[in-house]
Chain A
Amino acid sequence: MSAIQDLPLSAAMRGESAGTEWLFPIVETVHVLTLTIVFGSIAMVDLRLVGLTGRGSSISRLSAETLPWTWTAWVLSAISGSLLFMSKAVTYFGNFEFRMKFIFMGLAALNMLIFHFGAYRLVNQWDTGVPPISARVAGALSIGFWVAVIFFGRWIGFTT
């Protein structure tokens, strides 16, 4: 971790040389903008699965149309997040909230995989109707996990 922190790019992220003072705030703003699209687009599909919105509309179509935005935003969020991490790698790595954030992101990924290779394989049977209970649970869990990711993410800034 200290090797990461000693990289010239990490020093720039800390604003150590002239002209880099605003790098951290700019990258953090990119992180916030992109994470809103990640969670917002995931929530659109999750809320449809749970049954709170868009009843009667095709889930597979909604999912296909939002997924490219989710992934593009996620990649940008991961890149900007990595840059933020580099600035104080040792501190972040040892931070409780930081670790919890990644545990919940792992749970969200696991939940997505189970859903994708489970209930979603038979999506054409319930595409415009009420999803089976396993799909509704997956939607609710996804919202819960991502809310936890955002909460812990925000708390990192108050505990490091």
Chain B
Amino acid sequence: MFRPFADWLATTRLSELFQNQLWIVPTSQSIHIISVCLVFTSAIMIDLRLLGVGVRGRSISQLCGTLVPWMWGGLCVLLLTGAIQTIAEPVRQFVTPAFWAKMVMILIVVAMTSTFVRKVRISAARWDEAGARPANARAFAISSSLLWIMIIVCGRLIGYTWVLYA
């Protein structure tokens, strides 16, 4: 059902501009990957810290204070470069389930993360002390890590699966 929209989007002036300037898509993808590095590593480092490994020299609230701004900043760049890639090649994105699975998982993990960040900000002491940490902290850490990994896997699979549906 998104196919007619994708076909229309591909004929717009903006899309044609992105398609004709051959450097735009590779450059956008390169910036996209660099942003993935910052967002994914930040998320994994916080998750690992919740599980008691990795950067133990800093408390959870300190680590969140340092890394979360980079995560949100990186996500904005991801959204922008992702939008450029989608406008340039709309059919490639909209036809494959990998794209939609990726989008749904991004929404879930962003909602989970912002709830978590708010909780940590409200009661830092509760999160910083291993014994006092809420019971679902481990569940959050594991599910958020798995979601980010699957988001990257689906992102990579868009490029390989779209031809099967186009």
Contacts and interface: CB of A to CB of B under 8 A. Distances in A.
Contacts of A35: 33, 37
Interface stretch (B7-15, B88-96, B152-160): B152-160
B62 A36 contact: no
A29 B152 contact: yes
The interface size bin for chain B is 20 to 34
Interface string B84-111: 0000000000000000000000000000
Interface in B6-49: 26-27, 29-30, 33-34, 36-38, 40-42, 44-45
Given A36-B41, A36-B152, A37-B41, A58 B57 contact: yes
A147 B157 contact: no
Contacts, number: 79
Contact of A150 (B30, B62, B149, B153): B30
A65 B63 CA distance: 13
Nearest to A38: B37
Contacts of B54: 65-66, 69
Contacts of B30: 150-151, 154-155
A39 B33 CA distance: 10
Interface of A: 25, 28-29, 32-33, 35-37, 39-41, 43-44, 53-54, 57-58, 61-62, 65-66, 69, 147, 150-151, 154-155, 157-158
Interface of B: 26-27, 29-30, 33-34, 36-38, 40-42, 44-45, 54-58, 62, 66, 70, 149, 152-153, 156-157, 160
